[in-house]
Amino acid sequence: MAPARPPAGLCDSCRHQRLVPNTRGSVFSLCERSRTDPAYPRYPRLPVLSCPGFEPVPPPAPEPPR
């Protein structure tokens, strides 16, 4: 069963989110933008309701024709 975690709001559909599990079974929402831009906290306070850095996760690539 997947570990429970609180909804992260916008981050859950943002391409800059990385989910980081810890050894106690919790999962944290890390913002990859924090690596290059100090304006973004590494672990934003959730749920994130608005964010200027939000970029949607790209849709999955279409299946190649057979």
Per CB under 6 A, residues contacting ligand SF4 are 10-11, 14, 16-17, 31, 33, 40, 44, 48, 51, 53-54
Minimum distance from residue 58 beta carbon to ligand SF4 (Å): 14
At 39, give phi and psi (nearest 5°).
-70, -15
Minimum distance from residue 27 beta carbon to ligand SF4 (Å): 14
Q: Quick one: 5 or 53, whose CB is closer to ligand SF4?
A: 53
Q: Quick one: 52 or 62, whose CB is closer to ligand SF4?
A: 52
Distance of CA 48 to the CA centre of its chain: 10
Buried b / exposed e across 32-52, counting CB within 10 Å, b at 16+?
ebbeeeeebeeebebebeebe
